[in-house]
Chains A and B, each alone.
Chain A
Amino acid sequence: MSERFRPKPPRLVFVVLASVLFLLYLPIMVMMVNSFLDKVGGQYAWTLHWYGDVFGDSGLVVALERSVMVALTSSAGSVLLGTGAALSLARGDSRYRKMLEQLSLTSLIIPELVFALALLLWFFVINLSLSLFTVIIAHITFCLSFSILTIGGRLDTLDRSLDDGARDLGASDWQILTKITIPLLAPAILSSFVLSFLLSFDDFLITFFTNGPGSDTLPIKLYGSIKTGVTPKISALSSMMFLFSVLVIFGMKDVSGFFKSEKK
């Protein structure tokens, strides 16, 4: 399908584009340079030892392990619940579907801070003491709507006649679900897992409020060190986290598809 010719905008528009990209990436570039610099007696030299220091810091390594554990558990949880919810949303009864849709939408539009505090209160009311367990519950909750969106978007594009065909050939509903629908959804399930992983791994605010004492995740550690000041070691850690996220995004083919399906 060829696209209609689109007249070029004035040059100023591209100047703005270039400056915006510059402003977006300048701090990150500076941070990366900072992570390779060592100051010896007023002279700057290139070094890699800050990266070694990050892995030598047991506090940071433990926080990293915690972050990965939380992110893996909560993305698994949100994908499991999300796949089911997406199936029901696409093919369930309409009244029940509406309620589910509304709940999912509420959790998307509620301000992050209000959501974090509401959960904090709720955990207090139901007498659940704060720990990594409450963090995982919170993460599953905010990842779930994104999972439903990603998987539901893919489900909408599936050809319903495949189901009908299978049924005509004598397949049971269970067989249709496990042999046809789920395999076709696999790419969307994978990308929603990756997206949930990133959202959970990067989350600060909700973790900050639902976290128990002595179980800081990496973003919480970062918050603490930003308050105390800039060090090349934290720059090295941040550079690695940034590159990790970027690699994951590039690995995820469906990322542009996600944005396209989100806005109608």
Chain B
Amino acid sequence: MSSDDKRDKRGLKIFKNRLNWPGVPAFTWFFIFVFLPTLIVLVLSFMKRGTYGGIEWQGQWENYGRLWDTTYFKIFWESLKLASSTATLCFLLGFPVAWAIATVGQRWRNILLLMIAIPFLTNLMIRVYAIKVLMGQDGPIQWLLASLGIPFDPFQLSQNKALVIYGMTTTYLPFMVFPLYSALEKFDFGLVEAAQDLRASSWTIATKIILPNIRQGVANGLILVFVPCMGEFVIPDLLGGAKVMLLGNVLTEQFLKFRHWPFGAAISCFLIMCLLFFPWLINRLVVGNKKLYGEKSP
């Protein structure tokens, strides 16, 4: 027995060492094209803008000081509002969707999961463009409004905040449905049966029985939607007519229009900080420290 163990361990160790090399190219690649660029952004955020754009290598804090300007505070607030309303809406729609998917038969479950996944795997541009077709001139909505005799502004109709929310919600919904669904897969539906026997209403079942039990899934879904929404640039740009400034637009402008790269880098760092802070906050608010009765510690 013991000699076998020894041989096994030695054999495994040699095997393990030999299998370090296949990861080396990927490691190097990540180091050069993920680690170093991120590091450069951090370093750059403390530098000065050159006279004609570009970079002057001179350390200073000014870029971060500028972030506290009220203009940027407003922009941050707008992004926060958009991200939280998208996340909330995704949850309100995503929870019933996940609940329905989890309770239908296996065949339908796969079909529905695929139908929710398809938007995630098809081109964002196409989906945004399709919304434009829907709302644009000669589109069915404008035709409907016109034939009902309701006055409208065609320009206003094809570019507004509600459309941005529509675009964002439909884009990020899969990120909410999948974590919720996988949490429901592990959920014991016997509890629902028991609650029904005790004449609990559907509302009580949803809010007092299912949701508290899948709150880690809820938190994961909220994080997965919220985080990319904070830095979203394409959807508000195309559907909102870029009337409301958001972190994404400002960041892009600093880089491409004003060519103030160090300040753009500072905004990027700020965005990364946000994206570390908010998941922590969401987890804290949704999951908390309290354990449910009879729940095993993770």
A interface list, Cβ under 8 A from B: 3-10, 12-14, 16-17, 20-21, 23-24, 26-28, 30-31, 34, 39, 80-85, 87-89, 91-93, 96-97, 99-100, 103-104, 106-107, 109-115, 117-122, 125, 137-138, 140-141, 144, 148, 163, 167, 173, 177, 198, 201-202, 204-205, 209, 219, 222-223, 226-227, 229-230, 234-235, 238, 241-242, 245-246, 249, 255-256, 259-260, 262-263
Q: Please tell me if the beta carbons of B30 and A122 are within 8 angstroms of each other in the complex.
A: no
Neighbouring B residues of A91 by C-beta, 8 Å: 15-16, 19
Q: Please tell me if the beta carbons of B182 and A263 are within 8 angstroms of each other in the complex.
A: yes
Q: Please tell me if the beta carbons of A205 and B234 are within 8 angstroms of each other in the complex.
A: yes
Interchain CA distance A85-B15 in the complex, whole Å: 15
Q: Please tell me if the beta carbons of B251 and A113 are within 8 angstroms of each other in the complex.
A: yes
Nearest residue, chain A, Cβ from B183:
A263
B61 at interface, CB cutoff 8 A: no
Neighbouring A residues of B29 by C-beta, 8 Å: 81, 140-141, 144
Q: Please tell me if the beta carbons of A249 and B118 are within 8 angstroms of each other in the complex.
A: yes
Neighbouring A residues of B21 by C-beta, 8 Å: 84, 88
B281 at interface, CB cutoff 8 A: no
Chain A at the B interface: SS class: helix
User: B274 CB to closest chain A CB, in angstroms?
Assistant: 9
Q: Please tell me if the beta carbons of B122 and A202 are within 8 angstroms of each other in the complex.
A: yes
Which of A81, A89, A198, A209 is most buried by chain B, counting CB atoms within 10 A of its CB? Answer: A81
Neighbouring A residues of B234 by C-beta, 8 Å: 204-205, 223
Contact with A198, one of B116, B121, B126 (Cβ below 8 angstroms)? B121
Interchain CA distance A243-B255 in the complex, whole Å: 35
Which of A83, A227, A241, A242 is most buried by chain B, counting CB atoms within 10 A of its CB? Answer: A242
Contact flag A144-B231 (CB < 8 Å), given A24-B170, A263-B182:
no
Q: Mark B224-257, 1 if CB is under 8 A from A, else 0.
A: 0001101111100010000000001001100100
Interchain CA distance A100-B124 in the complex, whole Å: 30
Q: Please tell me if the beta carbons of B202 and A110 are within 8 angstroms of each other in the complex.
A: no
Q: Mark B187-229, 1 if CB is under 8 A from A, else 0.
A: 0111011001000001000100000000000001000000110
Interchain CA distance A93-B134 in the complex, whole Å: 54
Nearest residue, chain A, Cβ from B217:
A263
Contact with B19, one of A16, A20, A87, A109 (Cβ below 8 angstroms)? A87
CB-defined A-B contacts under 8 Å, sample of 14: A9-B202, A17-B100, A24-B115, A28-B130, A31-B133, A88-B26, A111-B228, A111-B230, A121-B41, A144-B26, A173-B19, A222-B125, A222-B126, A238-B130
Interchain CA distance A255-B133 in the complex, whole Å: 29
Q: Please tell me if the beta carbons of A6 and B103 are within 8 angstroms of each other in the complex.
A: yes
Q: Mark B13-38, 1 if CB is under 8 A from A, else 0.
A: 01111111111111101110111111
A-B contact count (CB 8 A): 283
Q: Please tell me if the beta carbons of B231 and A112 are within 8 angstroms of each other in the complex.
A: yes
Q: Please tell me if the beta carbons of A6 and B102 are within 8 angstroms of each other in the complex.
A: yes
B261 at interface, CB cutoff 8 A: yes
Counting chain B residues whose Cβ lies within 8 A of the other chain, the interface size class is: 35 or more
Neighbouring B residues of A115 by C-beta, 8 Å: 34, 37
Q: Please tell me if the beta carbons of B136 and A27 are within 8 angstroms of each other in the complex.
A: no
Q: Please tell me if the beta carbons of A24 and B138 are within 8 angstroms of each other in the complex.
A: no
B82 at interface, CB cutoff 8 A: no
Interchain CA distance A141-B97 in the complex, whole Å: 33
Nearest residue, chain B, Cβ from A39:
B138
Q: Besides the contacts A4-B190, A115-B37, A222-B126, what 15 more A-B pairs have beta carbons closer than 8 Å? A: A6-B102, A7-B189, A9-B96, A10-B202, A24-B173, A30-B130, A85-B23, A88-B23, A97-B23, A173-B18, A204-B234, A226-B125, A245-B118, A256-B110, A263-B220
Neighbouring B residues of A209 by C-beta, 8 Å: 255
Q: Please tell me if the beta carbons of B126 and A242 are within 8 angstroms of each other in the complex.
A: yes
Contact flag A92-B117 (CB < 8 Å), given A111-B272, A121-B37, A121-B261:
no
Neighbouring A residues of B164 by C-beta, 8 Å: none
Q: Please tell me if the beta carbons of A85 and B268 are within 8 angstroms of each other in the complex.
A: no
Q: Please tell me if the beta carbons of A226 and B129 are within 8 angstroms of each other in the complex.
A: yes
Q: Please tell me if the beta carbons of B133 and A34 are within 8 angstroms of each other in the complex.
A: yes
User: B228 CB to closest chain A CB, in angstroms?
Assistant: 7
Nearest residue, chain A, Cβ from B268:
A114
B137 at interface, CB cutoff 8 A: yes
